[in-house]
């Protein structure tokens, strides 16, 4: 698929994927509200269904932004105390590789996104065709770290072969996640063996979470100029 440069075209593709994901929602479901531009479109469509048509659902959000957006449409927001298992979560992705291996977290919400995804029966990705890759690694891999451990973890990530950059906010200060941690963006390396890398990152003390989402998604709805792809593996 050739690269798309018209933002209007890309927005239309994202909307197509979000509309298809809306068809998966049934009355009475508990749903996870993902993060990112395509998931935001889905939340808006879902919210309109709740506000204008009385759809009865409850939701847990993967970010403060998604929670605020959901509440603005009257979507009932609950907690895992009230609802320990979700029927459906719809979220975006930075990259989608074969086997539905994902890089997520470009928006800085990866920890809560992974918590919500892990508590979900059906985890569905919505994206446009630009997110499809043969191997992960073109997009930077976000890594969330405890601030005191940041210098140690940076060196560990560099030893793995990554170029590591501390994410910063628009004003130049370090970006702080919803949970009060720092984010490293790790680039410059094709990820040939995502499970092996995930295993190394999972055992790194002070590393809170990483943006490799493996064996989690059950379906990806990918809108391309040639139509909507529905990938299950």
Instruction: Indicate the burial class of 183 (C-beta count within 10 angstroms; 0-12, 13-18, 19 or more).
Output: buried
CA-to-CA distance for 67 and 60, rounded, in angstroms?
8
Residue with tokens 């204008």: 52
Q: How many other β-carbons are positioned within 10 Å of the β-carbon of residue 145?
A: 25
Instruction: Indicate the burial class of 151 (C-beta count within 10 angstroms; 0-12, 13-18, 19 or more).
Output: exposed
Instruction: Please say whether the dihedral angle defined by the alpha carbons of residues 207, 93, 33 and 116, taken in this order, is positive or negative.
Output: negative
DSSP reduced 3-state for 93: coil
**Which positions are catalytic?**
113
User: How many residues are recorded in the chain?
Assistant: 233
């Amino acid at each position: 698929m050739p690269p798309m440069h018209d933002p209007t075209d890309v927005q239309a593709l994202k909307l197509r994927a979000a509309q298809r994901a809306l068809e998966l929602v049934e009355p009475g479901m508990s749903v996870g509200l993902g993060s990112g531009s395509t998931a935001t479109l889905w939340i808006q469509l879902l919210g309109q269904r709740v506000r204008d048509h009385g759809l009865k659902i409850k939701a847990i959000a993967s970010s403060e932004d998604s929670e605020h957006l959901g509440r603005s449409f009257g979507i009932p927001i609950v907690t895992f105390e009230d609802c320990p298992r979700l029927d459906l979560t719809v979220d975006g992705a930075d990259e989608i590789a074969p086997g539905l291996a994902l890089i997520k977290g470009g928006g800085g919400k990866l920890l809560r996104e992974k918590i919500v995804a892990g508590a979900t029966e059906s985890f569905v990705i919505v994206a446009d065709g630009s997110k499809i890759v043969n191997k992960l690694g073109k997009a930077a891999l976000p890594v969330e770290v405890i601030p005191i451990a940041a210098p140690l973890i940076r060196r560990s990530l560099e030893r793995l072969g990554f170029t590591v950059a501390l994410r910063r906010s628009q004003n130049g200060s370090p970006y702080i996640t919803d949970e009060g941690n720092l984010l490293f963006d790790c680039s410059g390396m094709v990820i040939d063996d995502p499970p092996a890398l995930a295993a190394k990152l999972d055992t790194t003390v002070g590393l809170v979470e990483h943006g490799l989402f493996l064996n989690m998604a059950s379906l990806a709805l990918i809108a391309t100029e040639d139509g909507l792809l529905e990938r299950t593996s």
